[in-house]
Each structure stands twice: as C-alpha cells, then as structure tokens.
Structure 1
Amino acid sequence: MNTALLLSYVLTVSLLIATPGPVVALVVNTASRSGPKRAMATALGSNWGSLVLIGVAAWLIIASAALDTRLLSLLSLLGCVVIGYLAVGSLREAMVCETATQPISPATQGGLLQGFVVGICNPKDIIFFVSFFPQFLQVSHSLKTSLAVLSLLWVLIDLLILGAWIMIAGRLSKAGNSRLISLCSGVALLLIALLGLAYNLRALWA
C-alpha cells in the first residue's frame, strides 16, 4: 500500500468536501429547516451520487475510454442548471417563511433524492472523479483493492465532514438563524450555479 499517496488522497478529499459547495449548502439549509435527520438523509443521498461518479470513473479506466472534454462541460452545465433550480427554490422558501403563518413543510427540504441529484450533478465532483481520481489508483497493486479502499475512504470522510456541517447548522438554527442560513445557502447555490454556467458555456464556446 502506497501510504504517501493514500494520505494525499485523504487530504485532497477532505479539502474538496469541506470547501463550501452545492452539497454543503444543501445539507446546511436542510439541517436548519428540517432538522438533522433529514439533513443526514440528504448527505447519504449525495454520497450515493458520488459513488455513482466513482463507478463511472472506474468504468472509464477499465474500458480505457476517453471522455470528451465537451461532454464533461455539458455534464457540468446540466449540474449547474439543477443547482440553480434548487437555489431559486431555497431563496423562495426563505422569503415565504418570513411572512407565512405556517412553517415550510419539511418534505420540501432536502432528502435522499435531492441529495442524490446534487451529488451526481456537483460540477466539482464530476471534474475530480474524471480528471483527478484516476491519479490515486496506484495506492495498491490491485485495481479492485484500490477502488474499494478509495471508495470506502470517500464515504467515511464525506459523512464525517457533512455530519460536522449538520451539527454546526443545528446549533446556529437553535439560535434563531434558520432564515439567515437558508438565505445564505440559497445565495451560495445561486452563485455556484451562475459561475459554473459561465465557465462551462465559455468552455463549450471555445
């Protein structure tokens, strides 16, 4: 086992997941609005989305297939559209919550399906798994062992870090900051979507 490469992978994944992005924004918003249980379901959904991306990356490697960069840009573009849609919904709910007499239904916040959709459409995860993940497959002499170890580490790191975000959001929401958290999450998602759209449209146009 290549310990140095494995530690490099752990550090890279930890920084990638901990950095605020669409998954973190959705999980934090869900935790503040609908509680930790639904937020954890959202985190599990995004985790499953990531495992699908790992599977795609593994297939590309095993089949020795090359992914067209334009296709990668199109996938990221689709992800940005989905994230933008969720951002608008989050901002609308935050605005409605300010004047509504009844709370927003928890069923509209996060959950396994939304988490899975955001996880599989997350532009930075798509780029990571297609472009950088293959570089860490030399952690062992067996491709299957490498895939198993790297996948397991991703699941553990992902759930630990998102769990920490859920705890932070829970504490802040108890202090009466639910609407502020929802607004910030919505704005963050919208900015990520707009920047991603601009970047990928430029890449496709070039």
Structure 2
Amino acid sequence: MDLTLLLSFLAVSVLLTLTPGPDILFVIAQSISNGRKAGIATAMGLTTGLIAHTTAAALGITAILYNSAFAFQLVKYAGALYLLYLAYQAIKEGATPLTTAAPEIKSPLRLYRTGILMNVLNPKVSLFFLAFLPQFITPGTGNEPLQMMILGVIFMIQTIILFSAVAVFAGIFGQKLLGRASVGKYVNYGKAILYAGIGIRIALAEK
C-alpha cells in the first residue's frame, strides 16, 4: 500500500473521529457521569464494534445489508430500540447523585458491552465503511480485502486513542460535579435525551 495514501487515510480518519457524532457524544456522556474509566471502557467497546463493520465491508457482507431492505430495517430498528432502552435507564437514575450511581451502570464491562452493541447495531456505520475504505485501497492487486482490513485496523487504533483522550478530559470535568444531586439529575436526564435522540436518528436513517 502506498504510504502517501495511508497518511491521507489517517488524516481523514482523525477528522472524522473528532467530528461530533453519536459515538463521541456517547463517550463524553459516560465519562462525565461515571468517570474517565467508564468513558474509556465505552470507547473500547465502540472501537471493538468496528471490527465487525470492517470485516463485513472487506467480505462484502455490508453490500448485502445495503441491498436488502429487510436486513437494513431489522438492524436499524434493533439499534434504535436499544438506545431508547438506555434512555429509559438514564431516566430511572433520576436525581441519583453521581457518586452513588448504581454499580451496574458504572461497570466497565457493562459499558464495554454497551459500546459494542451500540456500534454494531448502527447500520449507517457499516454503509460508511463500505463507501469510505475502498477510496484508499490500491485496486487490481488481488488483495483488496486485506487492504481494507489494514485500513480498518488503522481506523480503530486512532479511534481508541482519540476517544480515550476525550474520555479523560470529560472525566476530569465530570469529577468536579460528583456528589451534587441536582447536577446528577440534569446529567442523567441529559443522557436520556442524548440516547433517545441518537435512537430516533438511527430509526429515521435512510440508506
């Protein structure tokens, strides 16, 4: 693979990763409410989910998803329902002070799994990879799928680095809010609005 092409891919990937979107907002929300470790766990989950999208794009499975209206709708609505469930859970937290949030909500493993599910159940990510990765491969070499996998790994590495940095800074900000019940209420309700908004956006998404 051409080094210039790889550097161009990395630069574009960084810009795309830092662009405000569902994933980075999700990391920020978890970091503020549950601390930087929770944000990093969420970031790792979201990044792990990219493995499925990269593999699907390399093997052509994403093309099947794109061409099948039923499959696209199924994945889309499953993701939307999951996010609406997270919104409901955030509302249940209500005015709970951030320092006494339920342990299961703060569990890094649970947040890691949540990140994976949120990413995998977003069909727009699969379609994005299908459209994005081929622009940076060298055609006619016979190893196009391998090139796409390499690009996917590069994208994942820069994503986890940037998301982890965002989690640390958001966690520091959230630390200043710990123990304030009134603030905890607004943070929880804010998360509920964020999750519901992302869920609705996914549900209304078109190919």
TM-score, length-scaled by structure 2: 0.77
Q: What's the CA shift for 1:31? A: 1.8
8 Å CA contact 2:31–2:167 kept in 1: the answer is yes
1:28-177 equivalence runs, <5 A = 28-60=28-60, 67-70=66-69, 71-93=71-93, 95-97=94-96, 103-109=100-106, 111-138=111-138, 141=141, 142-143=143-144, 145-176=146-177
Could you say what secondary structure the match of 1:111 adopts? helix
- Structure 1, gaps ≥5 residues long: none
**How many residue pairs are counted as aligned between the two chains?**
197
Distance across 1 between alignment mates of 2:60 and 2:148: 13
Q: Would the alpha carbon gap of residues 28 and 66 (structure 1) be closer, same or farther in structure 2, given more than 3 Å must change?
A: closer
Q: Please say which of residues 158-167 and 19-28 is displaced more in the overlay.
A: 19-28
Distance across 2 between alignment mates of 1:154 and 1:140: 23
Q: Would the alpha carbon gap of residues 173 and 64 (structure 1) be closer, same or farther in structure 2, given more than 3 Å must change?
A: closer
**Matched residues, percent identical?**
22
**What letter matches 1:13 in structure 2?**
S
Map of 2:200 onto structure 1: 194
Q: What's the CA shift for 1:148? A: 4.1
Q: What's the CA shift for 1:66? A: 7.4
TM-score, length-scaled by structure 1: 0.77
Q: What's the CA shift for 1:163? A: 1.0
Could you say what secondary structure the match of 1:138 adopts? coil
CA RMSD of superposed structures (Å)? 3.1
* Deviation >4 Å, runs of 4+: 63-66
Distance across 1 between alignment mates of 2:149 and 2:198: 31
Deviation per residue, 1:38-75 (Å, 9 max, x gap) = 322221121111111111111117x9867415133442
